[in-house]
Amino acid sequence: MPGNMGVVYEGPGKVEVHETEYPGFELKDGPGVNPANVGRKLPHAAILKTVATNICGSDQHMVRGRTTAPQGLVLGHEITGEVVETGPDVEYIKTGDLVSVPFNIACGRCRNCKEGKTGICENVNPDRPGSAYGYVDMGGWIGGQAQYVLVPYADWNLLKFPDKDRAMEKILDLAMLADIFPTGFHGCVSAGVGPGSSVYIAGAGPVGLAAAASALLLGAAVVIVADLNKERLDQAHSFGCETVNVALGDPKDQIEHILGEPEVDCGVDAVGFEARGHGRESETEHPATVLNTLMDVTRAGGALGIPGLYVTGDPGASDEAARHGSLSIRIGLGWAKSHSLVTGQCPVMRYNRQLMQAILHDRVQIAKAVNATPIPLDQAPRGYHEFDEGAARKYVLDPHGMLASAA
């Protein structure tokens, strides 16, 4: 049996790469594992040799100490890998398959899964619907920023790439299918982005950039990306987006300068609960800022896609209400403008096969859009630090050197 190494959360501001246990077909007790899941047998699972595993902004929320994540948690929910072993109940996935892993863990059997709502599966997290690898309060499934990882319900969850050699030629692009590309796409679909539409995307991190690329793929006429970080705004501009620097003031004025009017057809929140204010308040956290701005700048009758993460518990919040996920949202404004809002985890399986085809047939260059940057697994702490400092990159960990070989 091979060994295993994984990226471990060691407390606020600190991650380290440690030797971790090689996966088995039973959930064992450990940091973050829900007691009701301990001892759960997994004959339907597969063990993957990790080819690519990405650092996500959602991981950063935990590493900053902005959640109740326990010390010792193995991180990582964006996983692409090669199957090395399958449980006795796995029928269709085979050893040697190269696969993408949706970050949602879903059973495929419950009512929500059967309705395509795989982000809120009822059977994988004893506390509430919805689960993910290596994430706080998500059932305790071990994270995939590691050399090897276990994927339950393998026949249901895994997306097999049809041609392994061809997939390795585009592996950095395909690595975005686990989360940020479908998540950005879901934000745009939820907001009603279509041919000829104008869209305002709050946030130029990897999810915001993926949303911008998705909006262009969906036929948007104008994609406006807003952020405080010039380097990230330059990255958005590099593939055809207009940009708004919210540190300079009210986004409406800058939108009007771009469009000739102060409103857009569609709005996407790719920031979430650690939002800052605009203009003179841009150095201070104001967690409802993005949601309120989206309602302000989106036309009456428009829709808001909200893939940005909001949490039920934030120990580092700026006020007592926000510590419990309560924000001062101008719901009256949204009601008056008849806005539709879609929140929650992206149901990755709703989109990942189609987006895989778009990648394989050269309809989109998502790795280029998000500036995907491979680094070895042992450099994960550096990747986390630079990403937290605002680097305009999507760091992709390469546990076995397979990305370097493909390049």
Boundaries of every domain in the chain: 5-179+347-406, 180-343
The residues with which 367 forms a beta bridge, in sequence order, are: none
Looking at residue 174, its pLDDT comes to 98
Residue 200's contacts (CB-CB under 8 Å, 6 or more residues apart) are 224, 226, 244, 251, 255, 264, 266, 267, 268, 294, 297, 298
pLDDT at 311 over 90: no
Q: Do domains 5-179+347-406 and 180-343 have the same CATH topology?
A: no
Instruction: Write the pLDDT tens digit of every residue in 176-197.
Output: 999 999 999 999 999 999 999 9
The pTM of this model reads: 0.96
* Domain covering 5-179+347-406, topology: Quinone Oxidoreductase; Chain A, domain 1 (3.90.180)
Band (114; pLDDT cuts 50, 70, 90): very high
180-343 is classed CATH 3.40.50.720: yes
How many helical (H) and strand (E) elements, i.e. helices and strands, does the chain have? Answer: 16, 15
Nearest to 152 by CA among 335, 305, 23, 21: 23
Provide the pLDDT confidence category of residue 205 given band limits of 50, 70 and 90. Answer: very high
Residues 6+ apart with CB under 8 A from 335: none
The predicted structure's pLDDT at residue 407: 64
Strands 372-376 and 148-151: unpaired
Q: What per-residue confidence (pLDDT) applies to 324?
A: 78
- What rounded mean pLDDT belongs to the chain? 94
Which residue do the tokens 């990790």 mark?
50
- Region 317-335: what's the mean pLDDT? 85
